[in-house]
Amino acid sequence: MGTDAATPGHMSPDEFRRQGHATIDAIADYWQALQSPGAPPVLSRARPGDVLAALPARAPEHPEPFDDVLADIARVVMPGLTHWQHPSFFAYFPSNGSGPAVLGDLLSTGLGIQGMLWATSPACTELETRVTDWMAHALGLPRSFIAEPDASSVSPGGGVIQGTASESTLVAMLAARHRLRRSDTRAVPVVYCSHQAHSSVVKAAMIAGITEEDGTARVRQIATLPDWSIDAGALREQMRRDLASGLRPAMVCATLGTTGVMAFDDLAAVAGAIETAGSPHPVWLHADAAMGGAAFICPELRGPLAGADRLDSLCFNPHKWLLTSFDCGLFWTRDSEALTGALSVTPEYLRNAASNAGAVTDYRDWQVPLGRRFRSLKLWCVLRHYGLEGLRTHVRNHLKLAEWLESQVHASDRFELAAPRPACSPLVCLRLRGDASTPELAGALNGRARSLLEGLNASGSAYFSHTTLPDTERPGNPPVYIIRVSIGGTFTARPHVEQAWRLLCDTPV
């Protein structure tokens, strides 16, 4: 027999090289195909169960050639993909990929690093410290968020890479709750955000146990101003009411670029509301800049950061609009002790000399999981490949496209802007013009907008998503159906936005 039955058939280095080249070729071909006239429909046409039905019910007992796997990517997986990298993907928010990011991610996987402790790969921790500091400088964030504000000092603040903004908002809330309980062990915490804030705020409160007796999140969703940013006066009044009934404000989550319409909360006004609400404890101020933060790479677009020196934490996803493949969620805080106080548990098997000496950062204490990927590699590759100037150009190009689209909307008799577009937003929100003077007419207009959107998405030529907004002028009406044109894809350029606009205008309603 001669062979050892316990040894699996690993890919030989030569086979790995060959299949690796084939895989990279497949990705490069895919990117080219997406930008060519024969591109597949943006939105997948798969019906529920199609992909499952094309896959065997059990794993293979015996080895199969990797060529067959690659062939099945084309045959089984591709038809079940909605193409986020398609230049006519205008739905939700973009999920930017790029050559350097993919290669950085591949390196991270290939090196097989698990960076839970500094000691388990010092480069994984220290590169992360360096690139989060680089990004804090590049976005014009407060100095208190920088781990090494200058060559000789270390601060209690710093950045870390999480998977997503939802995780960042959760750890911010855990830190806020920890800090509150440290000064008042019996405090009953409350969280505040606007009704336009992302659902991850409510979810984080559910996870953190900041809930009412019936299990719903104890999150106050505050009214907004006409531009859909939080009404700071209403925030202060709600905090006062809660304080008067014995509750304790733990955290306010301000949003810098809301998911629905990219509204920016006024940080200085929010901080002012917190100061004048009369809380006996400091209230944690977190900013969710998941999408909007990308614009801050351009110095002329940092208006929404006025008041940022009052923030305790901020999160931002380079994987949305800054050419870094999913997933990469940056989180900064000026109070890492509150964070590690909330999250650090040290069993014997994780003890090591460097950690014991307090000489190093162990990012496991800054996040929910223990294990961590070497995510800083891809961001490092992106920053070095494009340079900050390249990233600024990417952002400015898309903002010019959004400006162009907005000017078309102003001249259109079919659509009007559904919400103001801040200068740093690449999202254009449309509503159909038409008679909405009664709830019935408004409902019918909504129905026409919905079928327009569904028809366009089914055509495969482009993909848009929607939201609704309350009708502030006619509160008796149903919420207004909004078509969101979210510009920001890696390959999205002028011709794609022009085509999208033609589709929106020329498709019968």
Residues that bind ligand PLP in the complex, under the rule CB under 6 A: 93, 164-166, 198, 200, 255, 257-259, 288, 290-291, 317, 329
Nearer to ligand PLP, 294 or 382 (CB): 294
Nearer to ligand PLP, 248 or 398 (CB): 398
Nearer to ligand PLP, 291 or 445 (CB): 291
Task: Give 198-204's long-range contacts (Cβ < 8 A, gap of 24+).
Answer: 198/165, 198/166, 198/169, 198/255, 198/258, 198/259, 198/288, 198/290, 200/165, 200/166, 200/169, 200/170, 200/288, 201/169, 201/173, 201/253, 201/288, 203/166, 203/170, 204/166, 204/169, 204/170, 204/172, 204/173
Q: Give me the least distance between CB of 203 and ligand PLP, in Å please.
A: 9
Q: Give me the least distance between CB of 461 and ligand PLP, in Å please.
A: 25
Nearer to ligand PLP, 330 or 442 (CB): 330
Q: How many CA atoms lie within 13 A of 408 on its CB side?
A: 18
Helix (H) or strand (E) holding 182: helix 165-183
**Would you call 24 helix, strand, or coil by DSSP?**
helix
Please name the amino acid found at residue 53: A
Nearer to ligand PLP, 182 or 203 (CB): 203
Rounded to whole angstroms, the Cα distance separating 104 from 328 reads: 12
Rounded to whole angstroms, the Cα distance separating 136 from 147 reads: 10
Helix (H) or strand (E) holding 243: helix 232-244
Q: Give me the least distance between CB of 230 and ligand PLP, in Å please.
A: 13
Nearer to ligand PLP, 200 or 313 (CB): 200
Rounded to whole angstroms, the Cα distance separating 192 from 221 reads: 6
Nearer to ligand PLP, 117 or 219 (CB): 219
Q: Give me the least distance between CB of 273 and ligand PLP, in Å please.
A: 20
Q: Give me the least distance between CB of 169 and ligand PLP, in Å please.
A: 7
Q: Give me the least distance between CB of 326 and ligand PLP, in Å please.
A: 9
Nearer to ligand PLP, 170 or 187 (CB): 170
Q: Give me the least distance between CB of 108 and ligand PLP, in Å please.
A: 18
Q: Give me the least distance between CB of 291 and ligand PLP, in Å please.
A: 4
Nearer to ligand PLP, 317 or 324 (CB): 317
The residue whose Cβ lies closest to ligand PLP is: 164
Q: Give me the least distance between CB of 459 and ligand PLP, in Å please.
A: 26
Q: Where are the alpha helices (DSSP H) in 322-375?
A: 336-343, 353-356
Q: Give me the least distance between CB of 262 and ligand PLP, in Å please.
A: 8
* Of 481, 171, 466, the residue nearest 329 (C-alpha): 171
Contacts of residue 460, defined as CB under 8 A and 6 or more positions apart, other chains included, come to 40, 41, 42, 43, 45
Q: What is the DSSP string of 411-468?
A: T-SSEEESS---TT--EEEEEE-S--SSHHHHHHHHHHHHHHHHHHHHHTS-EEEEEE
Rounded to whole angstroms, the Cα distance separating 84 from 98 reads: 12
Distances (CA, A) of 497 to 43, 401, 450, 463: 17, 7, 20, 12
Nearer to ligand PLP, 146 or 290 (CB): 290
Rounded to whole angstroms, the Cα distance separating 40 from 285 reads: 44
Rounded to whole angstroms, the Cα distance separating 414 from 399 reads: 23
